[in-house]
Amino acid sequence: MPQLTFKVTGVRAITRGLAPLLQFRVGITNATGEAILSILLHAQIQIRCARRGYNGHEKENLIELFGTPAEWGRTLRNCPWTSTNTVVGNFESETEAVLAVPCTYDVTLTTTKYFYGLESGEIPLLFLLSGTVFYSPGNGRIQTQPISWNTEVEYRMPLSVWKRLMEEHFPNCGWLRLRRDVFDRLYAIKRENADQSWEQTIERLLSQQKVLDADTVAAAA
């Protein structure tokens, strides 16, 4: 029976696609040498948030996710990121597969909020692998074998890869999703003031809020 081992060997940002995409390279080795006909490989990817350090600014950015640093002893846990699948072609001793992971810049999502809140370093990932191996033991027959349910692979992804991917697809931009009624109100303000861009509308509102805050402080004094 095949004895397979897996190792994530790298990650590449696909910057010229229609949508942000990361490709993780997975090295696969078969120690017993049977002819592997195909593998249906499934991966659940988790972020091991407690496996890295955080500077002061990062801790402030992540308060919305994990609370204050004093609470992190009970709140800093593994965070599910995504699931992905691939089909591995035939090989005997070793090969390399690619796991494609679509990404988003929607900061209302936990994982994107986490990535966005970091400044540098690496992101500790855990790949939980499963699937089915199709192989030939040499007698012309095809047999199947499940990938062990406890197959886990760790990988530390450079944060710079994700940041480069987002910058290529959304240069000097952020992304914000609004509830429909809030968007309609904001759109009405944009039309009423004949603003040429959303940035102009939001900057107008921020300036008005700044004036209100200053008046409140002055009145309190």
pLDDT, tens only, 8-22:
999 999 988 788 999
**Residue 153 lies in domain:** 4-169
Query: What's the rounded mean pLDDT across residues 38-43?
Result: 96
Return the CATH number at 114: 2.60.40
In a domain, 175, yes or no: no
66, 137: one domain: yes
Give residue 84's pLDDT: 96
118, 149: one domain: yes
Number of domains within the chain: 2
161, 184: one domain: no
In a domain, 19, yes or no: yes
Give residue 138's pLDDT: 74
138, 185: one domain: no
| pLDDT above 80 for 119 | yes
3-state SS record for the chain: CCCEEEEEEEEEEECCCCCCEEEEEEEEEECCCCEEEEEEEEEEEEECHHHCCCCHHHHHHCHHHHCCHHHHHHHCCCEEEEEEEEEECCECCEEEEEEEEECCCCCCCHHHHHHHHCCCCEEEEEEEEEEEEEEECCCCCCEEEECCCCEEEEEEEEHHHHHHHHHHHCCCCCCCCCCHHHHHHHHHHHHHCCCCCHHHHHHHHHHHHHHHHHHHHHHHC
In a domain, 157, yes or no: yes
146, 77: one domain: yes
61 vs 34, higher pLDDT: 61
Give residue 206's pLDDT: 87
212, 142: one domain: no
In a domain, 174, yes or no: no
150, 197: one domain: no
pLDDT band per the 50, 70, 90 thresholds, residue 71: very high
pLDDT of 96-113, one tens digit each? Answer: 999 999 998 888 889 999
What's the pTM value of the predicted model, to 2 decimals? Answer: 0.83
